[in-house]
Amino acid sequence: MSSAIPVADRTVVKTCCSICGHNQCGVTVALENGIIKEITGDPDDPVSRGGFCPKTMASAQLVSHPDRIKTPLIRTGRRGEGGWREAGWDEALDLIASKLLQFKTESGAESVVMARGTNRGSWIRVFNRFANLFGTPNWTESGGAQCFTPRGLAQQITFGGNALEWPDFTNANCILVWGANTVATWAPKAKKLMEARRRGAKLIVIDPVQCNIASKADLWLPVRPGSDVALAMGMINVIISEGLYDKEYVERYCVGFEQLAERAREYPLKKVSEITWVEERLIAEAARLYATTKPACLNVACTLDEIIDPIQISRVVCLLGAVTGNIDVKGGNAYPRSVGQVSIDSNAFIRLDAVPKQVQDKRLGASEYPLLCTNLPINFPMAHWPAILRAILTGEPYRIRGIFLMGGNPLLSIANSQQARAALEKVEFLAVADLFLSKTAELADVVLPVSSWLEQDGLADSSQATYGTLRTRRKVASFGLSLSDIEIMCRLSTKLGLADFWASEPEYLDHLLQPLNLTFEDLRKGDGYVLGPMQYGHHLRDGFRTPSGKIELYSQRLGEWGSDPLPFFREPHESPYSTPELAKKYPLVMTTGRRVITYFHTGLRNVPALRDVKPVPVLDINRRTAEELGIAEGDKVAVDTPYGSIQLWANPTEGIHPRVIGVPHGWADEANDNLLMNNEVCSHGIGTTPLRGTLCAVRRLAQ
Amino acid sequence: MKYTMVIDLKQCVGCDNCTVACKLDNETGTGIRWGRVVEEAAGQFPAVKRSYLPLLCMHCEDAECVKVCPTQATSKDENGVVRIDYDKCMGCKYCIVACPFNARYFNEAQRPPAGVPVMGSGDERKGAVEKCDFCHDRLAEGRQPRCVEVCPYEARFFGDRDNPDDPVAKMLREQKCVTLKAEEKFGPSVYYTGVES
């Protein structure tokens, strides 16, 4: 039938997705008469080589979605009531600028919080700079202490760079995945991983749930959530005590081996097995396979950032790579080279100097969480969300009057949603930039319409995914008055009179490319990419960027910052062992924050093609445990903690320990996992609210 | 010509790219999945092995759905593709009962959950039964079915098993390929390889 229709005006555009902000997969977008027909992973893309996911594909439905925000909106009526009027950009930005400047004049710049959630593009540091130039120390992220910050610090401390982010799958003979469902969160990496599998590389996966990637593993270690440090130390103990470590590498490139070996002896297999609920045999086998199959690479994700000791776990995983001689080598974890554009990951770029020291000292959380909130040589300091919520609610240590939020939905995405709601309802002024009226945006005074990645020109330069290669996002559609996040910042910076920002996004993009003698237009019209090749052995030759110039198995610096220089396991603050009384009422151990491939954080539930494939929030629970509780597949169940209760649909499975449950995150209302979380007990130094390994109970609800 | 699909279960990671691509390309409505991926688990924790089984219309040689259709809305074309003429389908659902692989859906224009809009033209097939047609329109243009095109893990292959030079015919000759419910001899045109014993 359709073959009778004359072939329409067809074009194919190459661009890079940014629906998750991290992977930035190269895709082809096929258009007919300007309408997007299909989006497909581009096998010729130099980075993702055809790897992509359902979120990218279904983004076509964002461009014609009836609920997208088309114009800036200004609240009419009471907050949260749902009354809005459409406005132009000038009016909306003037309103925001006048409020923010008023607060700054009357109460100091610190009375304004600038917060971000997800990264629709690569603008974290651009927003960081925007906040600093405005003068507030209270810039923060929903991720923040829960995502990358702890493991970034651990990597800087240990080997002066983020090698864990760059596994060299292509040349690895063994792959150790620690707490990442690579399939669901890193599609291009998963593609390379599966290619390595096909040519015979071994795969070890550490995850409480037998997730997609764990189902392909040679060895799956279902660790008790929150006990990961003990497991990793147990593996290091096997590797050292059986002499399987790389003696030459350790001698030449590491410091503190003797201290580490001594500490590791405190983690014999029997003890580790009791702590982690993983069989002794399996721990030993995994340690031996990993240490003796060279080269081996490590693949991690933000799970490491979400246990009670996030820096410790990231450190031990780094050390596993180090003692086996797999850091900065081909097939291990390496350090790709930037192609030489302006580096946005630097204190010079974010203009931290624009915030006077006495104002920086006021950063919320600074006294409790110095590793997160104070200016160390190796971090980008930010405010602590729980401290912000408390400040809004109590006025202590000072009043927070306004929040400017980009790409975030903290009402759902930060722990203790009950408190977040109270605070966001109370704050004097809230402005939100987003694609849709999110739960948070519903409470706003002003909402700004943001473009989707299909409606943006920009750069795809997230180093985690692109391994240094720089690529181009090409605009293929437009939607209402929406603008990119960066363009919004540029326009607002003009209204705020910020010096040293850019008047427009094209100007910013050209600035980044200037060292390459390129303009964005050159890149967009040409191939669209500049290759950043993998490099090996650079730090082995010239030294690691640590005080000793070597990989620091023992970190003096960590000791100076108030932590233990060596990894140690601490029982989670609530667990069957640390709080046995509580465990009588809440006998199951919960891991939350689990990712579902069709969604990104709190977004995309309203995209029909995605929602129909994953229609409800699903609880992973062991089949026998479910039986004992009278729960059948598809039953509606409640998950209870001392802090709250939510409702999910049961998925009884054998792929999880009988005393562990897996809870998805990002769902709204009665399925919002952050209603279950306590944000008062946070990690030492870094302020992480533990999301992996807390106590809960499950019960069947009336159907 | 006999159009045939081979799915490599070793390579399938359950990413649902195929499921979502199919929904978008065919604009299927709520609750309708011409292609889907079923998660299975063998054994008991911790000795358990999860796996993913992609399912779609098997385009059987001896198709039960064709036999029971009272209006000839369902028929087999010359290339072995089982197709539905939606204008002829009166929605009696005999074929849904007859299909051994649960590949068919009755379109009752089911509403999506609150907050999710209806997008696409799926409701135009309201009152009819629908299912995978191996992307017949794409084949006519010399393209591959959409689910094959979007699989990043090289788990799906499509071709003509009557042509000995076709990669799919080669796979059927050289690899252990099985069909579902083989003992019942429906003659599916969808084969699976990489099946763990």
pLDDT tens digits, A339-362: 999 999 888 999 999 999 999 999
Six-digit token string for A517: 């003698």
Structural domain of B122: 3-193
Q: A437 and chain B: CB distance < 8 Å anywhere?
A: no
Distance CA A650, CA A635 (A): 5
Contact B16 A279 (CB under 8 A): no
Contacts of B31 in chain A (CB under 8 A): 612
Distance CA A404, CA A111 (A): 11
Outline where B27-113 has alpha helix (H).
64-68, 94-98
The 3-state DSSP class for residue A558 equals helix
Interface of A with B in 287-316 (CB under 8 A): none
How would residue A7 be classed by pLDDT, with cut points 50, 70 and 90?
low
- For residue B151, the number of C-alpha atoms closer than 13 Å in the C-beta half-sphere is 26
Q: A171 and chain B: CB distance < 8 Å anywhere?
A: no
Share of chain A above pLDDT 90, in %: 92
How would residue A533 be classed by pLDDT, with cut points 50, 70 and 90?
confident
Give me the residue from B25, B45, B153 closest to A654, CB to CB. B45
ipTM > 0.90 (yes/no): yes
Contact B46 A222 (CB under 8 A): yes
What's the average model confidence in pLDDT over A212-234? Answer: 98
CATH assignment of the domain containing B27: 3.30.70.20
Q: What pLDDT was estimated at residue B122?
A: 85
Residue tagged 């070793």 (tokens)? B10
Exposure string over A111-124, b if 16+ CB within 10 A, otherwise e:
bbbbbbbbbbbbbb
pLDDT digits (tens, 9 = 90+) for A427-461: 999 999 999 999 999 999 999 999 999 999 999 98
What's the average model confidence in pLDDT over A657-683? Answer: 96
Which of A433, A330, A350 has its CA nearest to residue A92? A433
Decide: A459 and A472 in contact? Cβ < 8 Å: yes
Distance CA A131, CA A126 (A): 9
Bridge partner list, A205: A177, A220
Whether the per-residue pLDDT at A463 is higher than 90: the answer is no
- Which structural domains are found in chain A, ordered by start? 73-147+350-459+479-514 (3.40.50.740), 150-336+542-560 (3.40.228.10), 580-700 (2.40.40.20)
Q: A60 and chain B: CB distance < 8 Å anywhere?
A: yes
Give me the residue from A54, A64, A184 closest to B119, CB to CB. A64
**Averaged pLDDT score across all residues of chain A:** 95
Six-digit token string for B18: 């195929």
What total of structural domains would you count in chain B?
1
Whether the per-residue pLDDT at A121 is higher than 90: the answer is no
Decide: B136 and B56 in contact? Cβ < 8 Å: no
Contact B50 A597 (CB under 8 A): no
* Residue of B32, B37, B45 best to disrupt the A interface, most CBs of A under 10 A: B45
What's the average model confidence in pLDDT over A650-679? Answer: 97
Whether the per-residue pLDDT at A526 is higher than 50: the answer is yes
The 3-state DSSP class for residue A446 equals strand
| DSSP letter for each residue of A282-345 | HHHHHHHHHHHSSSEEEEE-GGGGGSSSHHHHHHHHHHHHHHTT-BSSTTSB--PPP-SSPPSS
Q: A10 and chain B: CB distance < 8 Å anywhere?
A: no
CA dihedral B36→B42→B48→B51, nearest 10 degrees, is -20
Distance CA A639, CA A361 (A): 40
Whether the per-residue pLDDT at B111 is higher than 50: the answer is yes
Q: What pLDDT was estimated at residue A377?
A: 81
Distance CA A114, CA A122 (A): 17
